[in-house]
Structure 1
Amino acid sequence: MMNELIEVDVLVVGGGTGGTAAAIQAARRGAKTMLVSEFTWLGGMLTSAGVAAP
């Protein structure tokens, strides 16, 4: 396993609806942004379980 140092302005941990929205907004504002999540999809329960009302 190779270790790599990545420098960002904003690190968002968690790919739920709030984390995804925060990462998108930070990137739109020009910040070098990284979003990390333990799952392979974004949106949390809203997208993974088909929940219609958060």
Structure 2
Amino acid sequence: MVQLNLVKVLLLSNERTGDVRYEIFSKEGENPDYPEKIIVYREGNIGEHGERG
């Protein structure tokens, strides 16, 4: 089984559009400059009272 290591997390924030989080993974023992997987999460306003989700 391939082991992935979290190499870097980038968080871009904007009050109007919400937050975007990038998690960058590389294979264990491989060069971290060549990612194996990138997961992107987006959080934004979902309610009229500023609820986030």
The TM-score with structure 1 as length reference comes to 0.22
Q: Of the two, which has the highest radius of gyration? A: 2
Bigger RCO of structures 1 and 2 (CA < 8 A, at least 6 apart): 1
Structure (1 or 2) with the greater strand fraction: 2
Structure (1 or 2) with the greater helix fraction: 1
